[in-house]
Amino acid sequence: MAHSMNLLSAGSASTASRSPGGAVNTYRGEPLLAILPGVALQQPWDTMGTAESALLAVSVATGLLGMMTMTLAGLNERRREMAILRSVGARPAHIFGLLVTEAGALAALGAILGLAGLCLALFLLQPWIVSRYGLFIPISPPAARDWLILGAVVAVGLAAGFIPAWRGYRYSVADGMIVQT
- pLDDT, tens digit, for every residue of 126-177? 999 999 888 888 989 999 999 998 998 899 888 888 888 888 878 766 666 6
In angstroms, rounded to a whole number, what is the distance separating the alpha carbons of residues 68 and 104?
11
* Residue 112 in this model has a pLDDT that exceeds 60: yes
For the chain, report the end-to-end CA distance as a whole number of angstroms.
80
**pTM of the shown model:** 0.64
In angstroms, rounded to a whole number, what is the distance separating the alpha carbons of residues 126 and 123?
6
Task: Say what the pLDDT of residue 84 is.
Answer: 85
